Structure 1
Amino acid sequence: MARKSEAPAGAPKARSETLVIAASSLGTVFEWYDFYLYGLLASAISVHFFAGVNETTGFILALMAFAAGFAVRPFGALVFGRVGDIVGRKNTFLVTMAIMGLSTFAVGFLPGYDSIGIAAPIILMLLRLLQGLAIGGEYGGAAVYIAEHAPPGKRGFYTSFIQTTAMIGLILASTFVVSLRLFMDAEAFEAWGWRLPFIFSIVLLSVALWIRLQLEESPVFQRMKAAGATSKAPLKEAFGEWRNLKIVLLALFGAVAGQAVIGFAAHLYPLFYLERIARVDGATANFLVATALTIIIPSFVFFGWLSDKIGRKPIMMTACVLAVFAYFPLYKALVMAANPAMAAAVEQAPVTVVANAGECSFQFDPIGRNKFDGTSCDVVKAYLARSGVNYSNVDAAPGTVASVRIGEEVHRAPDPATLTDKAKASAIAAFQQQLHDALTRAGYPPAADPAQVNKLKVIAILCIFGLLATMVYGPLAALLVELFPARIRYSSLSLPYHIGNGWIGGFMPTIGFAMVAATGNIYQGLWYAVAFAAITAVVGILFLPETYKRDIEA
């Protein structure tokens, strides 16, 4: 009688473990390369595809297009997860990689708003949606394929290599972007140079597809198929039966939600934060984030290996608890290290807006038609939001004309209701210049001084963020594979993973910066990450089972 670890008679000879890990992980490298590339180039994309709106709205719209790919990932997980459980792991993630890669490549040749008008952002959004659908089947396929090849006691170690590819994707993307910024003049880069990393993706796609074509089917799936034990309706079985659905919900809220926000708070959110809040130039911000994430890459494998020894749950839950208490002080330390002049100005000359809350608009306009000049409060907050200035709010009586207190100085805004259109434009421009001069006197810099950026301290703080992410992400793939039975594994783990990373994590930058724009508090967006990390800590500690000793062929 053959042992479980042996392939059935007549089955193709198993490929080397190195090839299995490399081929499966390459797709995830590609996924994250595109993911980070879009994030790194969000500012350029907002200019080319969302022209005609104000700067703050344009940037948030670019983030929304970025998040659109995440929005459809759970649907891709359902489609391709079902195929993976019925047809097989290998062929499914060959298809997902091809769709994903071609969608990324096409962005490099997509005409901008100035050439084809509104069709440009629509097509961009469609490409993002298509890519998101394909990614919905990619991670699950890679995790299942590697885990089902791994020997008992090494699943955490083997699957942790998938997680390192997120950082490799970032390094490839950021290295490409930083190199272009250094060797091209700024005007050429903004005009067309930003397209080159998207076009280059065809090379990565070709290599990854070629290597994946060398693979055989997962041995666990081969045995299930030979025994006639595959599921004929994996979606119904996974999500229509409470015994399986409750595990899906537990995986989402007790593991993936926390992993998603901790991951985004470690790599993409700090990058936007350094650029948009701390006003560090893009090339420097990219370099700092990429350097930190390069340093922490080995810790993915370490925590994956460690989870094979002591379990997945204690490592992941520790990270969630630490994140709840660490994010606010660490992000404040990040601002102080990246832009000490701004941090000092916030302490010595805090900015306060005095206005009636009912006369203040939410500083986000998804269709880009609001100039935020209808009330005195809007005039004030639009300028401060665009300038990335931290401010607090004091409510005033209805009808009170808004004012801004900067340290000891008080500046009264013009009241648009009392002015003609021509006079209003002139008064707003004069007021904005007045605020600019006052902020300058108070020590608020328009940009971080490169000589004052404490690079070592910034990198150290970013490494702490990264270590928290590796603690929760390193053991994750093995945990998800072990939670679900083999016959519905691809479908079952893909959905919670992509709801977590697609919806909860993917919308973190957009929601976070919208919260900052709405409240004026540059740390407000962190509540999003803290809340989900706390939920995962509570649910995971109380209800998540330990899985590292489970038999995954059951």
Structure 2
Amino acid sequence: MGATADHMRRLRGKGRCMGAKGQAAPAKGRDTMVVGASSLGTVFEWYDFYLYGSLAPIITSHFFSGVNETTGFILALLAFAAGFAIRPLGALIFGRLGDLWGRKNTFLITMLLMGVSTFVVGLLPSYAQIGVAAPIALVLMRLVQGLALGGEYGGAATYVAEHAPPGKRGFYTSWIQTTATIGLFLSLAVILVARIQLGEEAFKAWGWRIPFLVSLLLLGVSLWIRLKLHESPTFERMIAEGKGSKKPLTEAFGNWPNLKIVLLALVGLTMGQAVVWYTGQFYALFFLEKTLKLDGALANTLVAVALLIGTPFFVICGWLSDKIGRKPIIILGCLLAALTYFPIFKAITTYANPALAKAEATAPVVVTADTATCAFQFDLIGKAKFNTPCDVAKAYLAKAGVSYSVQAAPAGTPTAVKVGDVTLEGLDSKGATGQAFADARKAWEADLGAQLKAAGYPAKADAALVNKPAVIGLLALLVIYVTMVYGPIAAMLVELFPTRIRYTAMSLPYHIGNGWFGGFLPTTAFAIVAATGDIYSGLWYPVIIAAITAVVGGLFLKDTRHNRLED
């Protein structure tokens, strides 16, 4: 009784009048502080998390140099995805704490974990210094980051929504939705400044650590801001009335009516939202830098400008969802993405690397080989040798960012690479090993490189030929798709579940969708490209997932904008 009376006194001391339905009348100044502090703190956490994704190609060379380049990049993306893989566990742990202890205290813990682990990444020795311990330590830090982020988003979204006045939850929570993009933009901006000030060579050698180390300052600012916040009035009212859940995990996932909503939220909302988000903000950057061979600083700049253009649409879509509903906007975003990704990315190639687009059209590359001699070139421990003529040809083409098709030939047929109308016989090392094989391979790759150059395939994108306005416009369109699926989703997830299990129940489908389906998108897409030779084939992954969400969400989910949060 003492605890209940204390909660009631605190509620009366907040200075907020209660309406007829028990909804607190909003105090505008305080609500502005709530939204601003929650959003700004979350920006810094996303900044920490996105640094790794933005620097994946450089991190590959420092922490995964013990394997071939294709495997190294896939491993680097897997380490990136590891932070996403563990997010559902973070959602369970911190979601439970948030429903038991309160929203504010829980996301103070998650912020501290995120900031410290990011700072440590900036201090880690490289593979050349400590061997395999380097990537192991990197993955451990990524796991801590993912665990923390698994508890952050649900807390911030729930906290803001529970402060929002009726009819404005979409608008209020949309500011939280901007934080992921602003965090990515901030990380790109810091990286860009460091690259320009240090030069590309110094940045790749050691300057990449600076953005990670800067995160310690951001952590201090974030904690100071978050400490000024008070607990959610909806949560306090629930505790004062004795309606809190003693077992939020059991109630959220052991009760079929609630579990059914969790599953529908995953398949019909967050799964598609996640792949649209990560395609528009991460895969697009990888595609520019890794596949189209744009200079890293230029690629970062183009994406950053597109993010600046697109970010206001998070708030616009959130506001619009208060007027016409959350569901129509989210489903339309998924549908548009599924229908237009292929033409958009092909147009990006045309405008970002026109020489490559022209060469692909006029001189397609075909590898003719006995497919039994062609391996899937992924080696987790770096011991396998991919030395067959087919493997050598495919590895070189993948590294060069050249699309190719494989034409199966009868067993025993020698490998050949056809570039346009010219055919080059595959590597013939005549049983050479060691240095002799390396020399033969180098000479053959030089011949293939010369043939590709003669056919118009560029070694790198020419910055002078990049149609920057067109590329920025296409990238901004991808970001607008992101705002459609992401702007209203926090409000919709919060409105799906009752207060006593809200933090727990909404966090799990969000982080399974974003941690697993979204987080593994760059890795999966790049692996599909490496296996097929088609630089666009990785897009099938987000296209199929987004289409499934559009169908399931469109048919089985109801809109939630009129749902009460006090129930």
The TM-score range, normalised by the shorter chain, is: over 0.9
Q: Distance in 2 between matches of 1:259 and 1:27?
A: 23
1:8: how far off? 4.6
| Structure 2 residue matching 1:181: 3-state secondary structure | helix
Superposition pairs for residues 88-487 of structure 1, below 5 Å?
A: 88-373=102-387, 375-415=388-428, 418-487=431-500
Q: Distance in 2 between matches of 1:247 and 1:358?
A: 47
Give the stretch that moved more between structures: 353-362 or 413-422: 413-422
Give the stretch that moved more between structures: 13-22 or 46-55: 13-22
| Structure 1 residue matching 2:167: 3-state secondary structure | coil
Q: Distance in 2 between matches of 1:284 and 1:161?
A: 28
* AA at the equivalent of 1:286: N
* AA at the equivalent of 1:179: V
**Cα distance change on mapping 1:111 and 1:421 into 2, 3 Å:** closer
Q: Distance in 1 between matches of 2:219 and 2:167?
A: 32
State the partner residue of 1:4.
none
Alignment check: 8 A CA contact 2:49 2:118 kept: no
Alignment check: 8 A CA contact 1:364 1:518 kept: no
| Structure 2 residue matching 1:525: 3-state secondary structure | helix
State the partner residue of 2:26.
none
Alignment check: 8 A CA contact 1:54 1:371 kept: no
**Cα distance change on mapping 1:417 and 1:516 into 2, 3 Å:** farther
State the partner residue of 1:490.
503
Coordinate RMSD, CA, aligned: 1.3
**What TM-score, normalized to structure 1?**
0.97
Q: Distance in 1 between matches of 2:282 and 2:259?
A: 31
Q: Distance in 2 between matches of 1:35 and 1:350?
A: 39
Aligned: 1:520 with 2:502:
no
Q: Distance in 1 between matches of 2:542 and 2:534?
A: 15
* AA at the equivalent of 1:166: A
* AA at the equivalent of 1:408: D
1:399: how far off? 1.6
Residues 470-523 of structure 1: per-residue CA shift (max 9 Å, x gap): 011000000000011111000001001111110100010011001111110000
Aligned: 1:10 with 2:10:
yes
| Structure 2 residue matching 1:392: 3-state secondary structure | strand
Alignment check: 8 A CA contact 2:274 2:518 kept: yes
| Structure 2 residue matching 1:367: 3-state secondary structure | coil
Aligned length: 547
| Structure 2 residue matching 1:393: 3-state secondary structure | strand
Alignment check: 8 A CA contact 1:327 1:530 kept: yes
Q: Distance in 1 between matches of 2:435 and 2:295?
A: 35
Q: Distance in 2 between matches of 1:233 and 1:204?
A: 35
Residues 247-290 of structure 1: per-residue CA shift (max 9 Å, x gap): 00100010001110101111111100000111110000000000
1:21: how far off? 0.8
Name structure 1 gaps, 5 residues minimum: 1-6
* AA at the equivalent of 1:450: A
1:423: how far off? 4.0
State the partner residue of 1:87.
101
Give the stretch that moved more between structures: 131-140 or 362-371: 362-371
Q: Distance in 2 between matches of 1:244 and 1:401?
A: 60
* AA at the equivalent of 1:130: V
State the partner residue of 1:42.
56
Alignment check: 8 A CA contact 1:136 1:494 kept: yes
| Structure 2 residue matching 1:400: 3-state secondary structure | coil
Q: Distance in 1 between matches of 2:149 and 2:505?
A: 15
Name structure 2 gaps, 5 residues minimum: 1-6, 17-28
1:358: how far off? 2.2
* AA at the equivalent of 2:532: T
* AA at the equivalent of 1:223: R
* AA at the equivalent of 1:523: Y
Alignment check: 8 A CA contact 2:99 2:248 kept: yes
1:9: how far off? 4.1
Q: Distance in 1 between matches of 2:301 and 2:511?
A: 28
* AA at the equivalent of 2:66: G
